[in-house]
Structure 1
Amino acid sequence: MIRQAEFFLEGDSRGVLLIHGLTGTPTEMRMLGKGLNKAGFTVHGMQLAGHCGDVEDLLATGWRDWYASVQRAADAMLTKVDTLFVGGLSMGALLALKLAADRPGQIAGVGVYGATFRYDGWSVPWTANLSFLLPMFKRLGIGRNRAFLEQPPYGLRDERLREQVSAAMRSGDSTMAGLLGNPWHSLADLYLLSAQVRRQLRDVTSPCLVAHASNDDIASVRNAELVLREVNAPAELLLLDDSYHMITIDKQRRTLIDRSARFFDTIAPAQTLSAMAG
């Protein structure tokens, strides 16, 4: 059964839509959301379709369903704010980039956090190189009940937090830390989404803050470099040297919050908005 874990924090007329990763949960975006809200922004930490339930709930959806839920969340935000930013972690970063590519007139800027086009970090087994086979497996119905189990360090350099997340995943409550493994068929959809977004990167014209862990255990910095190289927009790189993949909750989350708030504020300053309102 899917539980609701999304959050909404009311602020000014500048909105930030935050998108979590594959098998993840809005909880992984909550600290970033609170920090942005403290800086004045209205924030919605959305919940992707099929997430925060069990494996069957996730397998009942694919990347088009996940993206459709992003579009609905963006539409809802646009009824509440005048300026909309979007930020995503891991697969959420790909969905954020796709939204910016599809809606250049609506998205003022993008937070690209730990973008994952390929699982090529140092903790990922060599079998990940065979991910191109997963869409075929899905079409043939092979491996529906198979999953790649999460491995330590679970994207976290912070050992105390790593233990908490590990315990939450083992508890079976997917609203707290997501599922313990990545189903093959869901990874097949991530592979297809990745290929789609790569084709659309040149259509991204909104400014991008590309934040990545320099020693990312899940997705190497090559993923960030791809975004910097391909988007047709001003883009700046924030490399975090004391974090792993889950940069929104790991040791340097405060740095990420501050840089994100400054980046969005540069595009749409709060004082300008309040002056216009007056």
Structure 2
Amino acid sequence: MPLHDPEPFTAPGRPDASGRTTGVLLCHGFTGSPGSMNPWGRHLAAQGFAVSVPLLPGHGTTWQEMNRTGYDQWYAALDSAYDELRSRTDVVVVGGLSMGGGLSLLLAARHPRDVAGVMVVNAAVSSQNKQLLAVPLLKWVLGSMPGLGGDIKKPGVAESAYDRVPLKALHSMVQGWRQVRAALPEVTQPLLVWRSREDHVVDEQSTRDILAGVSSRDVEEHVLEDSYHVATLDNDAELVFAESVDFVRRVTG
């Protein structure tokens, strides 16, 4: 299957009628790459927004390399990409898929005055999967397990992601979720949440925790009926793209 371009993507954007430039920062998920976000980023760029889709450390190389990285490094890379985008725009909206959604929420909590809105797709901040309880021990016995990437309903579409899950990195992500959940009350920005009705990677507990935890008064939850986990590449992708344009314009207007 053809893979979407896994390289980082940036677009300069153009000023609107008032002379302001709006930026959108998009973050991919665990073991993934910008390939899962670039079609979304290119759609936003076509609307005139400045866009940044960074590659997180340990991703886009090998799962062994990823096992030498962790949640704090992934967040630091996203924060750095935010600083770069903010330096060339007047206002920024952040968004992410899966783990990238959790990282985006953490970024919004830590930049309450500068992030204008948050968009998350099947965001991961918690799980009811009891198998995760064994990861702290398994990571010392097994380097990796079969991958979680490619949960896409649309035929003929593949995600540029590892086919193995690096367990030390997985444990770091699960520990990182605690940071995100603790920071949710600090999220006050408008929030747009997309959740796939059928998701084989992230369960509904994540969305429940997000909606219950944030302090945002402007919150929308949209259920995607025709996509699995990687909805940004799935049947509902165009819907996500269109709704995101409306959201960005509304919260930055």
TM-score for both structures, normalised by structure 1: 0.82
CA displacement, residues 209-261 of structure 1 (integer Å, 9 cap, x when unaligned): 01110111211233222212211002111111001000111001010001111
In structure 2, C-alpha distance between the alignment counterparts of 1:219 and 1:230, rounded to whole Å:
18
Contact 1:143 1:184 in 2 (8 A): no
Q: Is 1:160 matched with 2:143?
A: no
Q: Is 1:132 matched with 2:133?
A: yes
The one of 202, 213, 220 aligned to 1:236 = 220
Q: Is 1:104 matched with 2:102?
A: no
Is the partner of 1:110 in helix, strand or coil?
strand
Contact 2:197 2:225 in 1 (8 A): yes
In structure 1, C-alpha distance between the alignment counterparts of 2:50 and 2:133, rounded to whole Å:
39
Contact 2:127 2:206 in 1 (8 A): no
Corresponding residue pairs, total: 242
Q: 1:256 to 1:178 in 2, by over 3 A?
A: same
Aligned residue number for residue 64 of structure 1:
72
Structure 2 unaligned segments of length 5 or more: list them. 1-5, 15-20
In structure 1, C-alpha distance between the alignment counterparts of 2:208 and 2:127, rounded to whole Å:
14
Note the C-alpha offset of 1:135. 3.5
Contact 1:144 1:185 in 2 (8 A): no
Aligned residue number for residue 215 of structure 1:
198
Matches within 5 A, 1:71-110: 71-110=79-118
For 2:13, the aligned partner's letter is G
The one of 232, 240, 243 aligned to 1:256 = 240
Q: Is 1:40 matched with 2:23?
A: no
For 1:73, the aligned partner's letter is A
For 1:143, the aligned partner's letter is V
Note the C-alpha offset of 1:144. 4.9
Q: Is 1:116 matched with 2:100?
A: no
Contact 1:150 1:180 in 2 (8 A): yes
- Deviates further, 90-99 or 7-16: 7-16
Contact 1:135 1:191 in 2 (8 A): no
Matches within 5 A, 1:159-178: 159-161=155-157, 164-165=158-159, 177-178=160-161
Aligned residue number for residue 274 of structure 1:
none
In structure 1, C-alpha distance between the alignment counterparts of 2:197 and 2:208, rounded to whole Å:
11
Note the C-alpha offset of 1:75. 0.7
Note the C-alpha offset of 1:150. 3.2
In structure 2, C-alpha distance between the alignment counterparts of 1:191 and 1:231, rounded to whole Å:
19
Higher fraction of helix: 1
Structure 1 unaligned segments of length 5 or more: list them. 121-127, 166-176, 270-278
Q: Is 1:148 matched with 2:146?
A: yes
